[in-house]
Structure 1
């Protein structure tokens, strides 16, 4: 069990977006590790999951909802040792055909939602001898992905946000870390918000169909889901976790750590274009 509470009590963790996917896996892993875990969802189906995660309502797009949820955790547990900002979604489609309103919605949840939660929980985390603030980034925040430009942009934004926040909190008890997942079979593929066909040209519709099929295959053949739970528990136990924690299949880890550093920017662009079937004009 993490020693984040430093007082002999089970550490208390809050995981946003815990009703499915990566959030559900991480919340369950922390509960199995001995944490008291509160998970959030916009509309929880139950008050507690089979994994022992206490579910509460939170919409990260709303200041009032975030404040109510944090107050509920404080009322039930009296403290907060770890927060995992995981709530988010993905927009898929060509950048040139993405309505501004959809880009705003993407950033509203993925970026501003993280900021709302951070502002609400930091006063509580600062009260603990040691505390962790973890944000779910993505490998899409390290490399631009075709037809996922809005999602990549939101995750790139979180990279800068967390790097800065970590520096600002260096003299506090709070340790900031990113989890950067690669492809995993979590159901994220089916939940993406697609650009309406009516917004796209025929050429872009065809390109989106090709790329989305490749993305779906990559994700269905992605890493072992257990890696995600192991990663969040490892961060919970580490008194000074690294800022960036990539979690991916061995093949994707090799690609990022061994292959990409040997390629020039143009060579990397060519590699990505070939993988996604995008030919040069």
Structure 2
């Protein structure tokens, strides 16, 4: 199937690329749609290449961005490596990779066979590792690489008859935590916990089930046992489009943990409380003053290590927050001047307020609304922005404010040039583990305008 004709502007290599595995249907497709809606180029990776190709053509036509379908079998290293090579050849980059492949198989643990365990874990766990391994070179070279893994809310609040599926999703969570440590300061790693959705998950799992393992993905007794053990799991599933819309901004900002929907507060709190109690009991059994003869220093309580900030040391935590806000503002200037609109969108809260009334502009509420205004206002305009000498104040663990001295230079296609000086007055909000701009007001000290030269 031929891809739709795409305007030349979306082929700009500065436009971010989102790679979604399991992208031909369900949550993967819905997330791809959200990325395309924000101007990102997209690669839909799926074992069902025909369906992926049809959806890629539809996304391209709907959003006017480049979308490529790539066949990929997560159970094959050769196939995953070939998919990464295709993305590199087609786009030359990957800024966001969402490892979203997963097959489902119900059954009591005592009845699951070795081959059934091997099939599910090979696709769901090893497939996720294959995907990360294949795309890490592209992610490391991206200006703002993000890697997200789709697990399941069932690892936060499990149910019976999901033993092999839940074990695999716990393993993917562990994989993500390991990669976060290995990729510190290189690639942001997120874990997505989707709750119940109205999708083709059971159908698509059955379609790829090996012939020698052929049986119903789930029997009526399995569904009844699951619902009886965790009634909330089967209540009010939502369309994948709604789930993706709920979390796409957190995915794009690289938030550490992301839950699509549902009330999991009690389940998470109960487990956290029990783990905390267990940790306190373990600590009471461990000497905090010196290592026993059979211990190495690395086995001591972390709070005693000189190179680890103490949990109750606000200065250590604050310095990380100050630097994160400086990095946020640096990305703001860069994405504006390079016209990286999808990257810039990820820097704001959804309800951000931008006030430029004191410099002759207007007030715009909402990140999407501001980006719509900005892309039109700066179409064809070459901009250079510099920020200096920030005054940053943390007002709470999740809020801050700052003032930045600024200088900007704008040049229009007709030669008109504006050089301005002033200040950004901003407030920030911490969402997950990322600081975002929640409010911005631009004040001017001086503006110098140069009219285009005319020749008689």
> Do Structure 1 and Structure 2 share a fold, with TM-score over 0.5?
yes
Asked if 1:50 is matched to 2:58, the reply is yes
Partners of 1:42 and 1:143 in 2: how far apart?
Answer: 29
Query: Contact 1:14 / 1:82 at 8 angstroms: preserved in 2?
Result: yes
* 2:249 is the counterpart of 1:233: yes
CA contact (8 A) 1:142 1:156 kept: no
Q: What displacement does 1:41 show?
A: 1.2
- The 1:216/1:102 distance shift into structure 2, 3 A limit, reads farther
Structure 2 counterpart of 1:135, from 121, 133, 149? 149
Structure 2 residue 103 is the aligned partner of structure 1 residue 89: yes
CA contact (8 A) 1:11 1:35 kept: yes
Q: Corresponding residue for 1:69?
A: 83
Per-residue deviation, 1:248:
1.5
Q: CA deviation at 1:114?
A: 0.6
Structure 2 match to 1:19: 24
Give me the whole-angstrom Cα distance separating, in 2, the residues matched to 1:224 and 1:185: 5
Relative to structure 1, is the Cα distance of residues 67 and 255 closer, same or farther in structure 2, using a 3 angstrom cutoff?
same
1:29 matched residue in structure 2: 34
- Rounded to whole Å, the distance in 1 between the matches of 2:172 and 2:127 is 11
Shift of 1:85: 0.3
Check the 8 A contact 1:132/1:175 in 2, yes or no.
yes
**Cross-structure match for 1:183:** 196
**Distance in 2 separating the partners of 1:181 and 1:23:** 11
Question: Which structure would you say has the larger RCO, counting Cα contacts within 8 Å and 6 or more residues apart?
Answer: 1
- Quote how far apart the aligned CAs of 1:37 are: 0.5
Deviation, 1:183, is 1.2
Unaligned runs of 5+ in 2: 1-11, 61-66, 276-456
Name 2:238's counterpart in structure 1: 223
Task: Figure out how many residues of one structure are paired with residues of the other and give that number.
Answer: 246
Could you tell me the TM-score, scaled by structure 2's length? 0.49
Larger radius of gyration: 2
Normalised by the length of structure 1, the TM-score is: 0.77
Structure 1 residues 216 and 32, CA, compared in 2 at 3 Å: closer, same or farther? Answer: farther
CA distance in 2, matches of 1:196, 1:59: 19
Pair 1:244 & 2:257 matched: yes
Two-structure CA RMSD over aligned residues (Å): 2.9
Structure 1, unmatched stretches of 5+, are 1-6, 199-204, 266-281
Deviation of the 1:135 alpha carbon? 0.5
Residue deviations 1:211-243 (CA, integer Å, cap 9, x gap): 25668995472135313233133321x2xx332
CA–CA separation in structure 2 for the residues paired with 1:255 and 1:185: 24
**Counterpart position of 2:122:** 108
Change in Cα spacing, 1:155 to 1:262, as seen in structure 2 (3 Å) is: closer
